[in-house]
A and B are shown apart, each in its own frame.
Chain A
Amino acid sequence: MRRFVIGSARSLIERSRQNYQFQRPLLSSSYRLLSSTPAVDSPSSSSSTMAPPVALNTINPKVIECEYAVRGEIVTLAQKLQEEINTKPDAHPFEEILYCNIGNPQSLGQHPITFFREVLALCDHPTILDKSETQGLFSADSIERAWKILDQIPGRATGAYSHSQGIKGLRDTIAAGIEARDGFPADPNDIFLTDGASPAVHMMMQLLIRSEKDGILCPIPQYPLYSASIALHGGTLVPYYLDEATGWGLEVSQLKKQLETSRSMGITVRALVVINPGNPTGQVLAEENQKAIVEFCKQEGLVLLADEVYQENVYVPEKKFHSFKKVSRSMGYGEKDLSLVSFQSVSKGYYGECGKRGGYMEVTGFGADVREQIYKVASVNLCSNISGQILASLVMSPPKVGDESYESYSAERDGILSSLARRAKTLEDAFNKLEGVTCNKAEGAMYLFPRIDLPEKAIKAAEAEKKAPDAYYCQRLLTATGIVVVPGSGFGQVPGTWHFRCTILPQEEKIPAIVTRLTDFHKSFMDEFRG
């Protein structure tokens, strides 16, 4: 298995060197399928016979290359079916489309945390803070927190561009929150507030990637922001495989092997991406594992890019989230030993505030000259949205025991987290009951990533339609049940294996119906294609 994995990894690196391809010989035309018939982009009757400046054959090829399956082809089809149901309710054998493709909790009925929204509303419209009626509509501690935050904003102007790293007072709050979480100090000057974690990832890729000779180690399967960003910035993705047989385990020996292989091919590996808890795989790393990873990065001179956006989504009692910052500091490693960038977001956890676009990166272990460059790049966009900045500070310093809102806040939080844990288990069990399907436990994050053993007949049917087998399965699932999931090829998988990613986010009362529909579909699919 290991030899197979390394052999295929080698060929993957080779392919990615030429023209980043990601196990998609059948998907290469997927985006052409998305658009209307591939007509030639020729100007009609203009005097110039040149192609118009912004035509498919003249736009940046890196744009064409990069892919993002989470909102890719399957979603476009889902939207089309949705429109058909809207006009003709019995057009399909289901009443509604269930979007299980994207970690977007509030679009599926999850409620926001009341305290956070109170504070944000008051900061959006501070005029009402002076009115007596406000006391009756808002909790006292939300009013207090809003005042505190507004006092940290020059002129209390929430509509002004802030410092390009984000409002200082909010960064102080976040740094204090990091310290409370980890037991090790954090410097507000290390924090860059961004419009979600994704722009921060892009910024780091931009800094790190000089050419296709620069490689970034990424887990397979991975959240395709990384593959897309690397492609956009012209670098090379160096895959390391997580081991499905051991609960998506991360072996440092695999990291070493992939590193050596890529170096022997002339790639300078610059950074290691670790997603913890994992997406799409959901595993929570054991502390010993994390120590080995830190050691590896230190020895090899790699920047550790720690995507920790699911840090509050841990569902199993035997695992706990430890930030890489905490782990490295507990090993006695400081600024001089390890370059570490930690990403956090307001989109996940129990707060699920995707639409706000709030997040930050904490940047440690870089020289002042590099940090200046990071600041400079951040400044071109001036700053991230203020409301998102405020929310990031609230997420990192929520109500405490004794605060007026603490009880309602913790009830909301615990309600959401325990429900997520239940849904994770229910869906995991449901998938494991399906013929030819095995599903690892979701220890954390928001997804299940079951593996399906597709019969040969199904694979042939997929090929006939010029689709990857897992994309074919997902499309059939969608058209039969209205359930939208993302094919595993969108995340990467060991060649010859097939998966799909399904979120655990539909409301609990909908889960039984989803399980039934899915089970029935799968049975009839297997009946159709069983050898």
Chain B
Amino acid sequence: MGLKALDYETLNENVKKVQYAVRGELYLRASELQKEGKKIIFTNVGNPHALGQKPLTFPRQVVALCQAPFLLDDPNVGLLFPADAIARAKHYLSLTSGGLGAYSDSRGIPGVRKEVAEFIERRDGYPSDPELIFLTDGASKGVMQILNCIIRGEGDGILVPVPQYPLYSATISLLGGSLVPYYLEETANWGLDVNNLRESVAQARFKGITVRAMVIINPGNPTGQCLSEANLREIINFCYQENLVLLGDEVYQQNIYQDERPFISARKVLMDMGPPVSKEVQLVSFHTVSKGYWGECGQRGGYFEMTNLPPQTVDEIYKIASIALSPNVPAQIFMGLMVNPLKPGDISYEQFVRESQGILESLRRRARIMTDGFNSCKNVVCNFTEGAMYSFPQIRLPPKAIEAAKQAGKVPDVFYCLKLLEATGISTVPGSGFGQKEGVFHLRTTILPAEEDMPAIMSSFKKFNDEFMDQYEDNWNRSRM
């Protein structure tokens, strides 16, 4: 019997350290129960189409035509596809170097990157350079590429909000860097206090860590808060003073459910601030086709835009991108369609607007239903979902519940979420997967279940929660007597 080539013991330690709760223990347990026949409501991932949201019609028409260009030669194609979809398909095919089946430029199709640049300029009022925009197989790949450039070893720290989307913690682990947490203030609607930032940086430096970058997720995940312009200015000033590159995860920029704080891009604020800040603070901004009202997660389409990075650095990032040859071409077309949408007068415009508004308005309603629903539950406090796709209620677990969790060998919020899953079929992600203050527990769910299913889901949750609280609080009360 030969030597074992790859044992658990001999695996890369960084891999072993990685945690990604979004598809971790709760999800695996939910999948098991689903196989056994239990009805599961998956609210663990921001995956709109999996919960019944329909794809927008127009982009699917365009990409289908690009997949099968021989359709364009068929005289009957107009029976199935509107003229503007046909025109758009021809447009995107002309931008490729051989159709959907050829590797594109490693940075993405130049014509699509130009469309992205134009979108950014329309959105922010400042010109954007297509040469500094790289398309990627999803925003996550872009985040990994940039962090890979920054992190040299465990001496390099990345400021990450807590709670955060665990792509950041997982990637920092994989790359052998250090996560430097800065806490968001739950009582101030998950606001960002610059003093918290300063403290976090000081502590990290005291431990000998070089803080290199700061991640902001705006709108936040899992917290949903939308940063104000003042906040963004503070953050940019902070990065300027502390010599940090700002990583702006803006994938939820189209998911805004209140009117007091519309989305403002980090780049716009940076440019508004003028020199020297606007010329010196390094910024990388991320976007995707997975969220917004498109929800095309399965396509794996995204981009990052670099601001104030030296040309040689951009070259190195290009070099790394070239090893993967190119991002997938169909998703690049989705990206083009997203940033260069239909206009009034286009044949498909009205249907497109109807579909888009329908989704956004429903998301706004669901954000409210869910927040209110959670707030009506015993020992549950929930900030309003200002943006993104999640609700992150705080669950005030009684001491007896925490004790029971300990007995079961589980982290308290995992314990709660497992019980919730088994009782109701609702599959969530425990707050510990995102980070939270010591002794404070949360869970993350999405606001994505269909609107008509929401009331039943919320009442099912309330029933479970209130019974759970009664059970563990009664014990507590009794013991006090």
Whether B299 contacts A386 by the Cβ 8 Å rule is yes
Interface residues of B in 61-82 (CB under 8 A from A): 61, 63-65, 67-71, 74, 76-77, 79-80
Inter-subunit contact A385/B298 (CB<8 Å): yes
Considering the chains assembled together, what is the distance between the CA atoms of A229 and B151 in angstroms?
16
B20, B77, B323: the one contacting A376 at CB < 8 Å is B20
- In the complex, the answer to whether B320 meets A66 with C-beta atoms within 8 Å is yes
Q: Which of A45-98 contact B (CB under 8 A)?
A: 45-48, 50, 52-56, 58-61, 63-64, 66-68, 70-72
Which of A118-126, A393-401, A415-423 faces chain B? A118-126
Contact present for B137 and A107 (CB under 8 Å)? no
Near A by CB (< 8 A), chain B positions 136-160 give: 137-138, 140-141, 144, 148-152
A367 touches B67 (CB 8 A): no
Among residues 302 to 327 in chain B, which have CB atoms less than 8 Å away from a CB atom of chain A?
A: 308-313, 315-316, 319-320, 322-327
How far is B158's CA from A54's CA once the two chains are assembled, in angstroms? 13
By the criterion CB–CB under 8 Å, are B11 and A63 in contact? Answer: no
Most buried by B among A41, A118, A136, A385: A385
Q: In angstroms, how far is the closest chain B Cβ from the Cβ of A286?
A: 24
Cβ-defined contact, A299 with B2, below 8 A: yes
Q: For window 152-184 of chain A, which residues contact chain B by CB distance below 8 Å?
A: 154-155, 157-162, 164
Check: B205 CB closer than 8 A to any chain A CB: no
Q: For B442, what are the chain A residues with a Cβ–Cβ distance below 8 Å?
A: none
Complex: chain B residue closest to A43, CB-CB: B280
Chain A residue at smallest Cβ distance from B298? A386
> In the bound complex, what is the Cα–Cα distance between A228 and B104 (angstroms)?
20
Evaluate contact between A270 and B5: CB separation under 8 angstroms: yes
Please state if A60 and B148 are interface contacts (CB–CB under 8 Å).
Answer: yes
30 contacts between A and B (CB under 8 A): A35-B315, A44-B276, A52-B282, A52-B308, A54-B149, A54-B282, A55-B310, A55-B313, A56-B310, A56-B313, A59-B150, A59-B152, A60-B149, A60-B151, A63-B148, A64-B316, A66-B320, A102-B325, A104-B98, A161-B297, A161-B298, A206-B12, A271-B5, A301-B4, A354-B325, A355-B100, A355-B104, A377-B15, A380-B18, A382-B22
CA–CA, A386 and B298, complex, Å: 5
A523 to B141, CA, bound (A): 47
Interchain CA distance A41-B313 in the complex, whole Å: 9
Task: Please name 9 further chain A to chain B contacts, defined as beta carbons within 8 Å, in addition to the given A55-B310, A124-B63, A380-B167, sorted by A numbering.
Answer: A59-B152, A102-B325, A127-B60, A134-B80, A136-B76, A195-B328, A353-B101, A376-B18, A385-B300
Q: Which residues of A contact B76 (CB under 8 A)?
A: 133, 136-137
Determine whether the beta carbon of A112 is less than 8 Å from that of B99. yes
Task: Pick the contact of B313: A54, A195, A300 (CB < 8 A).
Answer: A54
Query: Cα distance A401–B103 when bound, in Å?
Result: 31
Interface residues of A in 377-419 (CB under 8 A from B): 377, 379-388
B47 and A339 contact, CB distance less than 8 A: no
Given A54-B150, A385-B137, A386-B298: A206 and B15 interface contact (C-beta under 8 Å): yes
Contacts of A160 in B (CB 8 A): 47-50, 297-298
User: Which B residues are in CB contact (< 8 Å) with A383?
Assistant: 298, 300
Bound: A477/B320 CA distance, A: 26
Residue-by-residue, is A199-236 near B (CB-CB < 8 Å gives 1, otherwise 0)?
10000001111100000000000000100110010000
Chain B nearest Cβ from A4, distance in angstroms: 31
Compute how far the CA of A406 lies from the CA of B127 in the bound complex, rounded to whole angstroms: 52
Per-residue B-contact encoding for A324-348, CB less than 8 Å = 1, 0 else: 0000000000001101000000010
Contact B323 A229 (CB under 8 A): yes
Q: In the complex, what residues of B have CB within 8 A of residue A198's CB?
A: 323-325
Q: Give A199 to B170 CA distance when docked, in angstroms.
A: 17
B12 touching A207, Cβ below 8 Å = yes
Whether A512 sits at the interface, judged by CB under 8 Å, is no
- Report, as a range, how many residues of chain A touch the other chain: 35 or more
Closest to A70 in B: B322
Is there contact, CB below 8 Å, between A158 and B50? no
Query: How far, in whole Å, are A131 and B67 apart by their CA atoms in the complex?
Result: 19
Task: Name B101's contact: one of A66, A208, A352 (CB within 8 Å).
Answer: A352
Bound CA span A377–B8, Å: 14
Using known A-B contacts A117-B68, A121-B67, determine if residue A210 contacts B99 with beta carbons closer than 8 Å. no
**Docked-complex contact B276 and A301, CB < 8 angstroms:** no
> Please, how many angstroms separate the alpha-carbon atoms of A133 and B21 in the complex?
46
Say if the beta carbon of A357 comes within 8 Å of chain B.
yes
A373 to B13, CA, bound (A): 11
B102 nearest in chain A by CB position: A107
Interchain CB contact (< 8 A) of B148 among A225, A232, A336, A357: A232
Contact string against A for B residues 80-118, beta-carbon threshold 8 Å, 1 for contact and 0 otherwise: 100000000000000011111111101000000000000
Any B CB within 8 A of the CB of A369: yes
- Contact residue among A44, A225, A347, A352 (Cβ-Cβ distance under 8 Å from B279): A44
CB-CB under 8 A for A303 and B324, given A53-B212, A124-B67, A385-B330: no
Q: State whether the Cβ of B132 lies closer than 8 Å to any Cβ in chain A.
A: no
Complex contact A381–B7 (CB within 8 A) = no
User: B235 on the interface (CB 8 Å rule)?
Assistant: no
Please determine whether B328 and A388 come into contact, CB atoms closer than 8 angstroms: yes
The yes or no answer to B204 lying at the interface (CB within 8 A) is no
Distance (whole angstroms) from the CB of A357 to the closest CB of chain B: 4
Partner of B57, one of A127, A196, A206: A127
Contacts of A387 in B (CB 8 A): 67, 298-299, 328, 330
* Contact among A59, A137, A339, A380 for B170, CB-based, below 8 A: A380
Report the minimal beta-carbon distance from A52 to chain B, rounded to whole angstroms. Answer: 6
A104 to B96, CA, bound (A): 13
Contact with A along B125-139 (1 / 0, CB 8 A): 000000000000110
A106 and B93 alpha carbons, distance in the complex (Å): 13
CB distance from A427 to the nearest CB of B (A): 20
Q: Does B3 contact A (CB under 8 A)?
A: yes
Judged by a CB distance under 8 angstroms, whether B244 is at the interface is yes
For residue B239, which residue of chain A has the nearest CB?
A53
Contact partners of A64 in chain B: CB under 8 A: 316
Cα A297 to Cα B352 with chains together (Å):
57
Cα–Cα, bound, A355→B135 (Å): 13
Q: Knowing A127-B57, A155-B50, A356-B330 touch, does A303 contact B6 (C-beta < 8 A)?
A: yes
Q: Are A161 and B50 in contact (CB under 8 A)?
A: yes
For A353-372 the 0/1 string (1 means CB < 8 A from B) is 11111000000011101100
Q: How far is the CA of A100 from the CA of B68 in the complex (A)?
A: 26
A292 to chain B, nearest CB (A): 15
Q: How far is the CB of B222 from chain A (nearest CB, A)?
A: 16
Residues of A within 8 A of B296 (CB): 159
Interface pairs A-B: 3 shortest CB-CB: A301-B3, A355-B329, A125-B64
Q: Across the interface, do A355 and B298 meet the contact criterion of CB distance under 8 Å? A: no
Complex interface: chain A residues within 8 A of B14 (CB): 206
Tell whether, in the assembled complex, residue A301 and residue B5 are in contact, meaning their CB atoms are under 8 Å apart.
yes
Contact of A122 with B327 in the complex, beta carbons under 8 Å: no
B254 within 8 A of A: no
Which residue from B8, B24, B171, B213 sits with its C-beta under 8 Å from A373?
B8
Q: Is the CB of A225 within 8 A of B102?
A: no
Can you list, as one digit per residue, whether each of B21-34 has a CB less than 8 Å from chain A (1) or not (0)? 01110000000000
Which residues from chain A contact B279 at a C-beta distance below 8 Å? 44
Q: Give CA–CA (A58, B152) in the complex, Å.
A: 8
- B310 and A41: CB pair below 8 A? yes
Distance of B41 from chain A, by nearest CB (Å) = 13
Contacts of B325 in A (CB 8 A): 71, 102, 196, 198, 354
**Alpha-carbon distance A198/B324, docked complex (angstroms):** 6
**When the two chains form their complex, are residues A104 and B103 in contact, meaning their CB atoms are under 8 A apart?**
yes
Whether a CB of chain B sits under 8 angstroms from the CB of A266 is no
> When the two chains form their complex, are residues A302 and B5 in contact, meaning their CB atoms are under 8 A apart?
yes
Which one of A41, A108, A121, A157 lies within 8 Å of B64 (CB-CB)?
A121
Once bound together, how far apart are the Cα atoms of A70 and B11, in whole Å? Answer: 30
CA separation between A46 and B282, bound complex, in Å? 13
Q: Which residue of chain B has its CB nearest to the CB of A233?
A: B12
Across-interface contacts of A31 in B (CB, < 8 A)? 315-316, 319
A425 within 8 A of B: no
User: Taking the nearest CB of chain A, how far is it from the CB of B130, in angstroms?
Assistant: 15
Contact B313 A59, beta carbon cutoff 8 Å: yes
Q: Is A128 an interface residue (CB 8 A)?
A: yes
